[in-house]
Structure 1
Amino acid sequence: NASKVAVIQSVRDALLQRQRDFRQAPGLVADGRDMGTVVFPDAPVKIFLTASAEERAQRRYSQLKDAGVDVNIDALLEEIRVRDERDMNRSAAPLKPADDAQVIDSTGLSIEEVLDRCMAAAGQA
């Protein structure tokens, strides 16, 4: 689980330059919990995508059910809340949007609507 490993500073230090090495022309779309704050703080476009814990639990529940996995939505919701708490309160790069990030709340939006908002935020809509 990436969230559990992300609290280990030596692991974060070892991976930082490797992550930055992926940036090459013409550009990079990077997805991760601290891409805009730690890994690529000088990125020209930063989008912090969020959704309610309930929405994320429902999405994950649907994915797992579609894959034939027997899962309890209440357990998923609790896991998400615990992970969020851990990530937002860790000492090494706590989860938060970069000061210059555009925050997009995807709660209740379709994938197409989220993409439209991301493209607009990036100035390419």
Structure 2
Amino acid sequence: MASNFEQFARNSLQFRPSDIRLMLERVHSHVVKPRMSAEELLDVVRGLGFETVEAFGDQIGLERRTSESWARYGLSRDAAQLLLALLNYRRRLLDAMDDFEKTTQIPLDGFFENQQLP
């Protein structure tokens, strides 16, 4: 939390009038724009290979209370767009792996599943 205050203080020193527009956009994004529902989020994290939103959060290093909040209330639209992009990337990668396997008869999915993330 202290680092958040330090970052806020640094950003405040560099504040420009044009930043007001960016702050208002941020508030608008979180308050006014439609959110990804909790059900849609669960579908996305399952598409990414996780059983629950909390399991996804644990894997990416989210605090538990954040993933619990996401599981209950969904995500802001901008955060949802990032997850949808990851899901799209995963699907394209799986399609490419499938094409590779059909051509070479070398199964890549077993190789990737056995690799440990740092």
Does the pair score TM above 0.5? no
**Taking structure 2 as the reference length, what is the TM-score of the superposition?**
0.29
**Which structure would you say has the larger RCO, counting Cα contacts within 8 Å and 6 or more residues apart?**
1
TM-score, normalisation: structure 1: 0.28
Query: Which structure's residues are more often helix, by fraction?
Result: 2
From the CA coordinates, give the structure whose radius of gyration is larger.
Answer: 2
